[in-house]
Amino acid sequence: MKISLKQFTSLSVLLLSILLITGCGSDEPTTEGPVTEILTFYRLVESNEFSLQVPEDWETIQNFTTAYPENTIVAFRNNIQDHDFIANINVVRNEVTEGTTSADYAIEMFDTISNQLINYKKLNEESYTLYVGANPIETFLYEFQGINDPTETTKQFIQIYGTNGTNAYVATGSYDADDSELAIDQIQQSMRTFMLK
């Protein structure tokens, strides 16, 4: 196959351009710290302790029934209430000993939960980077299912655990099999926006 001088020149320019463009990049991340862009159709909820993005049309709950742990700071509930259980997200705060790492706290809490729930099953365990301010802290994201009451249907949970000083936080998203794929996706996306301050 013969290549004309014009084709050879065009091909050479194209290859040189590709090499230059790929050579200008870097394997290093271009940003430091957490991504703070607000997700489409979400709102940012901030306190002096944490931030979290939740679906913009979900209800904020500040007066808690006994269905919520007594150490709950805030909770959010899906606005679509078409069956008994309503998809929700909550953040709780516990006290810990100074120096407790987020990863150690996550393992301890997850071990407790796995021994307390009925029909417990771990679905996913992921090493996870949680930001405390601009500092990345290693912890875990757990997905599991189970129930507290044998008369209820099994629920699924996603939890992220973090510590900051003597405060420990658990962000939990929960849903059941009757929830829509949209609600489940919203919980999964929200959980990954949780950050401590």
Whether residue 189 lies inside any domain: the answer is: yes
Within 8 A by CB and 6+ apart from 30, the residues are: none
Domains held by the chain: number: 1
Average pLDDT over the chain, rounded to whole? 84
- Mean pLDDT, rounded, for 7-28: 37
8 A C-beta contact, residue 170 and residue 109: yes
Per residue in 37-95, pLDDT tens? 899 999 999 999 999 999 999 999 988 888 777 899 999 999 887 777 889 999 999 99
Where would I find the H helices in the chain? Answer: 5-24, 102-116, 181-191
- Please write the tens of the pLDDT for every residue from 122-144: 999 999 999 999 999 999 999 99
Q: Confirm whether 9 is domain-assigned.
A: no
Q: Is the pLDDT of residue 20 over 70?
A: no
Domain annotation covers residue 2: no
Q: Scanning the structure block, which residue is given the tokens 């091909």?
A: 11
23 has pLDDT over 50 = no
DSSP tally for the chain: helices H, then strands E: 3, 10
How far is it, in rounded angstroms, from Cα 152 to Cα 171? 22
The CATH number of whichever domain residue 110 belongs to comes to 3.40.1000.10
Which domain does 128 fall in, by range? 42-196
Instruction: Please check the confidence at residue 1 and state whether its pLDDT lies above 50.
Output: no
In-domain check, residue 12: no
* Tokens at 68, concatenated: 């919520």
Asked if residue 4 is part of any domain, the answer here is: no
User: What's the whole-model pTM score?
Assistant: 0.80
Rounded Cα distance between 43 and 7, Å, is: 54
The structure tokens listed for 147 are: 């129930």
Count CB-CB contacts under 10 A for residue 139. Answer: 23
Q: Say if 59 falls within a structural domain.
A: yes
Please indicate, yes or no, if residue 27 is contained in any of the structural domains: no
pLDDT at residue 6 tops 60: no
* 55, β-bridge pairs: 42
Q: Is residue 114 part of a domain?
A: yes
Residue-level pLDDT at 29:
39
pLDDT the model gives residue 15? 36
pLDDT of 11 reads 37
pLDDT given at position 25: 40
